[in-house]
């Protein structure tokens, strides 16, 4: 824990309380001076933590009034941590499963997962919605040899990552991710309820487990109003 910056520990503590509901929407945070005293840090450190909370839309700062828990926390995804869509949307996302089946993977997907000749994969396709509006479509591919029953397993809370953790004891530790602008093809457009050719954000993610093994290769497409946030330090 000593290597974790103090502001980051404060951020994680407050963010956890917000996500758990301990701090309700529109609740006012304690003042910076009081928080600094409680955490035993300088006021500037608290200010840095609150700035990150605000960047991720977890809180809203009102000049001369105070800092409040945001009432509109959906629509943003942080790229700072390896999280699921459900976690990023603070549990407010709904899931519609398009496919959950064992397949013979196309060569490019087999290559991403380092699958040998003839090895099969589990394909999990989902549409994720927030407030009844479809905002992204996800297609995940996982080695069948690691998760032979996944095609029959209900997704816990609509989350693939939660299912991998709770059912299979698999935690994802890191990922390589590529993001680019794209145009919605007919299938994506139908899932997102947008015209064919509409701009979308296309993401490819290769996620690794505890032993640096390849656990998931995923492609997803999201409406452009989904904001991606990154916290940078020097």
How far, in Å, CA of 32 to CA of 146, rounded? Answer: 48
In three-state secondary structure terms, 193 is: coil
Block mean pLDDT (10 aa), the chain, length 234: 76 86 87 93 93 82 86 55 52 83 96 96 94 90 96 91 92 90 95 93 93 94 75 56
Q: What is the pLDDT of residue 42?
A: 94
Start and end residues for every CATH 3.40.1410.10 domain found in the chain: 76-229
> Looking at the whole model, is its pTM more than 0.75?
no
Q: What is the pLDDT of residue 228?
A: 65
Q: What is the pLDDT of residue 16?
A: 86
DSSP lists the bridge partners of residue 228 as 77
The sign of the torsion formed by the CA atoms of 36, 40, 45, 46 equals negative
How far, in Å, CA of 107 to CA of 141, rounded? Answer: 12
How far, in Å, CA of 69 to CA of 61, rounded? Answer: 9
Q: What is the pLDDT of residue 157?
A: 85
Q: What is the pLDDT of residue 15?
A: 86
Q: What is the pLDDT of residue 107?
A: 96
CATH 3.40.50.300 fits 6-69, yes or no: no
In three-state secondary structure terms, 3 is: coil
Q: What is the pLDDT of residue 1?
A: 40
Q: What is the pLDDT of residue 40?
A: 93
Start and end residues for every CATH 1.10.10.10 domain found in the chain: 6-69
Q: What is the pLDDT of residue 234?
A: 56
Q: What is the pLDDT of residue 205?
A: 94
In three-state secondary structure terms, 157 is: helix
The string of DSSP codes covering 82-113 is: ---HHHHTTT-EEEEEEEEEEE---HHHHHHT
CB 218 within 8 A of CB 175: no
Superfamily of domain 76-229: Chorismate lyase-like (3.40.1410.10)
* Token digits of residue 121: 């994969």
Q: Which residues contact 98 (CB under 8 A, 6 or more apart)?
A: 125, 126, 127, 137, 191
């Amino acid at each position: 824990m000593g290597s974790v910056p103090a502001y980051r520990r404060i951020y994680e503590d407050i963010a956890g309380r917000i996500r758990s509901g301990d701090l309700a929407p529109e609740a006012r945070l304690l003042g910076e001076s009081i928080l600094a005293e409680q955490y035993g840090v300088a006021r500037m450190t608290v200010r840095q933590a609150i700035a990150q909370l605000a960047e991720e839309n977890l809180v809203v700062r009102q000049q001369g009034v105070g800092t409040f828990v945001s009432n509109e926390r959906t629509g943003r995804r942080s790229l700072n941590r390896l999280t699921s869509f459900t976690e990023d949307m603070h549990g407010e996302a709904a899931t519609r499963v398009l496919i959950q089946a064992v397949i013979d993977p196309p060569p490019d997907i087999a290559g991403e997962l380092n699958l040998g000749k003839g090895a099969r994969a589990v394909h999990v396709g989902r549409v994720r919605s927030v407030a009844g509006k479809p905002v992204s479509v996800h297609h995940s591919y996982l080695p069948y040899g690691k998760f032979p029953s996944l095609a029959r397993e209900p997704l816990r809370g609509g989350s693939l990552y939660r299912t991998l953790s709770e059912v299979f004891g698999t935690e994802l530790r890191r990922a390589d991710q590529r993001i680019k602008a794209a145009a919605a093809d007919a299938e994506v457009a139908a899932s997102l309820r947008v015209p064919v050719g509409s701009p979308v954000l296309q993401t490819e993610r290769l996620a690794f487990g505890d032993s640096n093994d390849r656990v998931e290769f995923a492609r997803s497409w999201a409406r452009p109003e989904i904001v991606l946030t990154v916290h940078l330090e020097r």
